[in-house]
Chains A and B, each alone.
Chain A
């Protein structure tokens, strides 16, 4: 069964460093999302992406964040200058278009900023 994959599973970085989190959505899916979950809290939406552009973003998704689909398979989230409060689990999700709205999640990347 096709699945969303994410790399790395765990990333440790120092405050102020740039990180890139990678996702490979399910191949025939057209909509892509990033969510984050700070430990012990609920899952929060960051950004959605369709047709090579951002379709929606939350107030969390400020100028330090960016997304890109550099080729036909990868979908990346870049955090330019990490802060301690960026420590969280980051989930990528994708879904088909055309009325099938279930979002399928990847296993997540645990980001630890020290």
Chain B
């Protein structure tokens, strides 16, 4: 079974600064997908970024980028130029290839401070 570990329950960052959220996972699969979801206080789950395991290039979406280290089974999220609206829970999630369920980590609560 796959597991996802987020070792930082809470983090804070000053507005306009950069923060990195950690995620590690365990799997015996070779092809899979990794995601970061954001959950603001409204509790809506919002997809932030995704990474295909077969791609060596790290995914980037505007201020959000990942550092994907397949051998180390590590998938960290970097948020640049942090904004107050980035305050939320961030969940790392794993999915086997195919239309399969997401396996989530426990989340990291990020607070952006003015």
Q: Do A and B bind each other?
A: yes
Task: List the interface of chain A (C-beta within 8 A of B).
Answer: 30-31, 33, 35, 37, 41-45, 48, 50, 55-56, 58, 89, 91, 93, 95, 97, 101-105, 107-108, 110
In the complex, whether B42 has a CB less than 8 A from a CB of chain A is yes
Would A43 and B91 count as touching, CB distance under 8 A? yes
Q: Could you list 7 A-B pairs, sorted by A, with CB under 8 Å? A: A31-B99, A44-B104, A48-B99, A55-B99, A101-B95, A103-B102, A104-B47
Would A107 and B44 count as touching, CB distance under 8 A? yes
A108 and B45 CA atoms in complex are apart in Å by 8
Task: List the interface of chain B (C-beta within 8 A of A).
Answer: 33, 35, 37, 42-47, 50, 91, 93, 95, 98-107
Would A102 and B47 count as touching, CB distance under 8 A? yes
Q: Interface residues of A: mostly helix, strand, loop or mixed?
A: strand
- The listed residue (A33, A43, A97, A107) touching B104 by CB distance below 8 A is A43
- The listed residue (A43, A89, A110) touching B102 by CB distance below 8 A is A43
Would A42 and B50 count as touching, CB distance under 8 A? no
- The listed residue (B42, B47, B105, B106) touching A107 by CB distance below 8 A is B42
Tell me how far the C-beta of B8 lies from the nearest C-beta in chain A, rounded to whole angstroms. Answer: 14
- Knowing A41-B106, A42-B91, A42-B106, the reply to whether A56 touches B45 (Cβ < 8 A) is no
Tell me how far the C-beta of A51 lies from the nearest C-beta in chain B, rounded to whole angstroms. Answer: 11
Would B44 and A108 count as touching, CB distance under 8 A? yes
- Knowing A42-B91, A42-B107, the reply to whether A97 touches B99 (Cβ < 8 A) is yes
- The listed residue (A45, A50, A104, A110) touching B99 by CB distance below 8 A is A50
Would A43 and B45 count as touching, CB distance under 8 A? yes
